[in-house]
Amino acid sequence: MQPFTLEQGRGITDTIARGRAPGADYIAGGTDLMQLLKDDVRRPSALIDLEGLDLGGILVTAQGLRLGAMARMGEVADHPAVLRDYPVISEALLASAAPQIRNLGTIGGNLLQRTRCTYFRDTASPCNKRAPGTGCAAIEGNHRTHAIFGGSRHCIATHASDLAVALAALDATVHLHGPNGERDLKVTELHLVPSDHPDIETMLHPGELILAVTVPAGAWTRRSHYLKVRDRASFEFALTSAAVALDIQGGTIRAARVAAGGVGTKPWRLPAVEQALVGAPATADTWARAGQLSTAEASPLTENRFKVRLLQNTVACALEQAGGQT
C-alpha cells in the first residue's frame, strides 16, 4: 500500500478544494476503498475523509424520499418508511452485503463502488480500466460473470451496485456539489458505458461530491421488488438481478419501471420492457413475455451466454412477485 495523508476539510468548500487536488481521493465508509488500497489497485497520495460533513439523514415527504450521501446502507434498509413505501430499495440494500458492511457503507459510496472484475483487482493482469491501454484480460479469459449489455472491445466489466439498479428503476436523481457549485443528474446518467475509455466510469468532475439522492414519489413505488440471483445465497455479487415497480389498477398495468443488474456495464434500465407492460393485464403470460423481451439487445460472449435465459427468468419472477401482491 502506498503511504498517504489522511485529511479532513473544514466544511464543504474546503473539502472539495482538497478533493480536486491531483492524487486525492475521498473516503466515506471505506468498505470498497480499503481493499483497493491494500491490493495496490488505487494509490492516492491523500485521502479526504467525508465523515465530518453533515451529509447523512433520511427524509420521507409526499414528494418522495431523500437519502443523504453519508446515510448508512443499514439505516436506509431498515427505515420503516423505506420498507413500506420503497421496498425495492430496502431489498437491494439487504441483498448487497452483510450487516457489518451495511453498518459502515454509505449510499454515496455504494453508488461509486468499483467493479468486481477479478482482473481489475489483480495488478498482474492487463486491464484497460485500471491501467488504460494495457488490454482486457476478461474478453479472452474468464468472463462468466461479465456484462451482456453495454460492453466494448476494451471492457466488459459489470457495475456491482444493487442499490444503483433499484434507484435507476425509480428515476432517482443524484445531487452533486463540485468546484463550480451544485448540479443534478439522473442516476441513469451518472455511470458511463466503457466505450474507448473504461477508466472513465462516471460523469463526476474532479472533486465533485454526491450530496444526496432523491427518489420521486409514484403510484408504483410501494409495489416494487428487487430480485437478485447469485452463485451462493449471501456475500456474493449478482449474476443477474431485476428491480421492478408496478402501478396496477383493476388488473391492468398503468405504469412500470424495470432495471437489470449483474448484466450491464452500468445499471441497465429496460425501457422497451416497461413500454410493453403498460396497458397489459397483470398475468403470468405478461410477466413471461416481459422476461423474453428483456434480453432483446443482449450481446453475450461464450462463457456468459447463460445470463440471457437467467435474466429473462429473473425479470419475469421479479414482476410476478411484485404484481402478485394485488
By CB under 6 A, is residue 127 in contact with ligand SF4? yes
- Yes or no: say if 298 and 263 are a contact pair by the CB < 8 Å rule: yes
Distance CA 38, CA 138 (A): 22
Distance CA 6, CA 20 (A): 15
- Yes or no: say if 304 and 144 are a contact pair by the CB < 8 Å rule: yes
CB of 120 to ligand SF4, least distance (A): 4
By CB under 6 A, is residue 137 in contact with ligand SF4? yes
By CB under 6 A, is residue 198 in contact with ligand SF4? yes
Interface with ligand SF4 (CB under 6 A), residue total 15
By CB under 6 A, is residue 316 in contact with ligand SF4? no
By CB under 6 A, is residue 117 in contact with ligand SF4? yes
Closer to ligand SF4 by Cβ: residue 132 or 271: 132
Helices 162-169 and 87-94: crossing angle in degrees, nearest 10, is 170
By CB under 6 A, is residue 148 in contact with ligand SF4? no
Q: Which one of residues 26, 86, 120, 149 is an interface residue with ligand SF4 (CB under 6 A)? A: 120
- Yes or no: say if 36 and 72 are a contact pair by the CB < 8 Å rule: no
Closer to ligand SF4 by Cβ: residue 115 or 224: 115
Least Cα distance to 41 among 115, 98, 111 occurs for 115
Q: Which one of residues 26, 86, 119, 149 is an interface residue with ligand SF4 (CB under 6 A)? A: 119
Which stretch in 18-26, 45-53, 149-157, 250-258 sits in contact with ligand SF4 by CB under 6 A?
149-157
CB burial of 133-163 (b: ≥16 within 10 Å; e: otherwise) equals eeebbbbeeebebbbbbbbbebbbbbbbbbb
Residues that bind ligand SF4 (CB under 6 A): 115, 117, 119-120, 127-129, 136-138, 146, 155-157, 198
